[in-house]
């Protein structure tokens, strides 16, 4: 299994928000015959969470092998009865770094399991930024999140399946049956899937592949000829990334950033705002999404390059968390995702203009430089905190521990 290996002949379906994502993934779990593998940062005990809860319990009772890995911080408040029902049904629940608090401070804030995978029968895969909670559906209210995921069939599912199995050490899970490769469950959907697409699974860890996703972005940006659109919830990359965007703009490439205008965290807008002066001076467009919190981690470049995944473009995702993105070379899919992002810019975004951003001189410039360097060095400081000795453990040996009342994203 190679990080970033291109595979041909995939079918990739864009899913926008929970209204599209949850019915598809739950229906596929209901059809599962052999195996369900799930990795997620957040799983809440709300309506969506209980729909998944029932689906995996029913699957386990049918004899399907179910492995679910959740993050000990993001999913740390699941009640004991919720977890017990899973284990009683035969669901294998794994917890990434289930540590408690010291003097009221959560010690497992950093290097989180932030990936979002669902694999069914080694034939269907899901990857993106959508967790299992009501926060991703409009019914949740004005704080519901705008986000994306993809449903995939084809050879890249083998890569996703092998990767997820390796993470949990699932040596006793059933091997793939050859005939399952040909299964393609499908329901009519308003967004037409792209067929015969090239796709590569790229993951980031804290070992040999700590810069892999960032490097794939660099390559795409450096080869851009016409247009770059990046929609990212938490945008605070390093200087090298910003310089790559500036150089693209200087080549005549239209560079558009869709960022949070109604952020779900108080520091998000302030951190991104420290970059506005630099970006606007480079003729890079900034569009702030105003409808609700933006949770997207997607991008398109020119006519046939796209990515959808879990990785933000901030110090947490680029230097600390465990992340995974799917990179796609397909004109039909790229066009579809571009159309959705352009519609977002046209109908729900406010463009930041040069005259709206004060020139950063004197103390403003000093503060901007100070904030930038503090945030960029934050991952190195966080690395001083003791690492995960045994990060993924069965829930039967380690309980899910509560974290602060403010739920993460």
- The secondary structure of 381-409 as a DSSP string is HHTTS---SS-EEETTTS------SS---
How many Cβ atoms sit within 10 Å of the Cβ of residue 358? 9
Q: Report the phi/psi class of residue 196: left, alpha or beta, with left for phi > 0 and alpha for psi in -120 to 50.
A: left
Residue 47 appears among annotated catalytic residues: no
Helical pair 363-382 and 266-281, crossing angle rounded to 10 deg: 120
Whether 55 contacts 30, CB under 8 Å: yes
**Which residue is catalytic, options 28, 67, 71, 121?**
121
Question: 315, 312, 310: which is closest to 239 by C-alpha?
Answer: 315
CA distance 308 to 118: 14
Residue 114 appears among annotated catalytic residues: yes
**Which residue is catalytic, options 145, 276, 287, 295?**
295
Beta strands 92-96 and 392-394 are antiparallel
Residue 94 appears among annotated catalytic residues: no
- The secondary structure of 24-57 as a DSSP string is HHHHHHHT-SSEEEEEES-B-SSHHHHHHHHHHH
Whether 20 contacts 191, CB under 8 Å: yes
CA distance 64 to 58: 9
**Which residue is catalytic, options 58, 205, 302, 398?**
302
Class of residue 6 by CB neighbours under 10 A (exposed 0-12, middle 13-18, buried 19+)? middle
Residue 302 appears among annotated catalytic residues: yes
Kindly give, in sequence order, each residue whose CB lies less than 8 Å from that of residue 262, ignoring residues fewer than 6 positions away.
142, 289, 290, 291, 292, 293, 294
**Which residue is catalytic, options 65, 94, 114, 287?**
114
**Which residue is catalytic, options 116, 161, 287, 403?**
116
**Which residue is catalytic, options 65, 297, 330, 403?**
297
Residue found under tokens 């679910």:
68
Residue 143 appears among annotated catalytic residues: no
Looking at the annotation, which residues are catalytic?
114, 116, 121, 295, 297, 302
């Amino acid at each position: 299994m190679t990080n970033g290996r291109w595979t041909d002949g995939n079918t990739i379906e864009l899913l926008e928000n929970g209204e599209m994502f949850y019915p598809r993934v739950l229906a596929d779990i209901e059809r599962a015959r052999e195996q369900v593998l799930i990795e997620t940062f957040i799983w809440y005990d709300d309506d969506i969470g209980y729909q998944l809860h029932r689906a995996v319990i029913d699957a386990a009772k049918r004899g399907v092998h179910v492995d679910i890995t959740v993050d000990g911080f993001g999913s740390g408040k699941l009640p004991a009865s919720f977890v017990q029902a899973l284990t009683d049904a035969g669901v294998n629940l794994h917890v990434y770094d289930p540590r408690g608090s010291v003097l009221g401070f959560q010690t497992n804030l950093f290097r989180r399991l932030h990936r979002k995978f669902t694999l069914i029968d080694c034939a269907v895969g899901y990857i993106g930024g959508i967790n299992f909670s009501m926060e991703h559906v409009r019914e949740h209210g004005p704080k519901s999140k705008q986000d994306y995921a993809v449903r995939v069939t084809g050879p890249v599912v083998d890569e996703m399946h092998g990767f997820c199995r390796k993470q949990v050490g699932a040596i006793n899970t059933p091997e793939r049956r050859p005939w399952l490769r040909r299964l393609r469950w499908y329901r009519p959907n308003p967004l037409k899937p792209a067929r015969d697409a090239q796709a590569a699974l790229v993951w980031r860890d804290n070992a040999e592949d700590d810069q892999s996703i960032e490097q794939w972005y660099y390559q795409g940006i450096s080869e851009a000829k016409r247009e770059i659109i990046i929609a990212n919830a938490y945008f605070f990359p390093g200087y090298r990334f910003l310089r790559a965007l500036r150089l693209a703009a200087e080549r005549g490439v239209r560079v558009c950033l869709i960022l949070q205008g109604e952020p779900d965290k108080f520091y998000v807008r302030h951190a991104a705002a420290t970059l506005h002066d630099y970006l606007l001076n480079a003729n890079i467009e900034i569009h702030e999404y105003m409808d609700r919190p933006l949770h997207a981690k997607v991008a398109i470049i020119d006519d046939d390059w796209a990515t959808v995944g879990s990785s933000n473009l901030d110090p947490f995702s680029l230097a600390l968390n465990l992340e995974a993105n799917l990179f796609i070379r397909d004109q039909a899919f790229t066009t579809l995702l571009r159309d959705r992002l352009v519609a977002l810019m046209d109908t729900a975004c406010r463009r930041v203009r040069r005259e709206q951003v004060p020139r950063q001189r004197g103390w403003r410039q000093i503060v901007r430089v100070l904030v930038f360097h503090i945030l960029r060095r934050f991952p190195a400081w966080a690395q001083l905190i003791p690492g995960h000795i045994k990060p993924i453990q069965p829930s039967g040996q380690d309980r899910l521990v509560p974290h602060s009342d403010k739920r993460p994203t």
